Amino acid sequence: MAALLYKVFFIIAMGRFDKQKERCVPVADISWHSASGYESHTIHNSVRYCGTKQKAEAFALEAAKSWIDARVKAA
């Protein structure tokens, strides 16, 4: 599991092992504080599989950063 504070968002990224595919699935949980309180968003990329947990975590971190950048740009 990897954790990162990116801009004002907290990212937890992990590689979840899929027994059927025998590969790791990238998953990222993004959380932040807003005027209405605590909010979160989960990215679960069930299409992308990685050979190692570290690669899945790295992919999940980059996906989370891209999601955050798009959210900040749209605001």
CATH code: domain of residue 30: 3.30.160.350
pLDDT of 33 > 90? The answer is yes
Going by pLDDT thresholds of 50, 70 and 90, the confidence category of residue 48 is: confident
CA pair distance 2, 7, nearest whole angstrom: 16
Which band of pLDDT confidence, cut at 50, 70 and 90, is reported for residue 62?
A: very high
- What pairing do the DSSP bridges indicate for beta strands 9-18 and 2-6? antiparallel
Residue pLDDT, tens place only, 3-18 = 999 999 999 999 999 9
Domain count within the chain:
1
> 56 pLDDT band (50/70/90 cuts)?
very high
On whether the CB atoms of residues 13 and 4 are closer than 8 A, the answer is yes
pTM over 0.75? The answer is yes
Q: Give the range of the structural domain holding residue 60, as residue numbers without chain letter.
A: 2-74
- What letters, b where the CB count within 10 A reaches 16 and e where it falls short, cover 24-39? bbbbbbbebeeeeeee
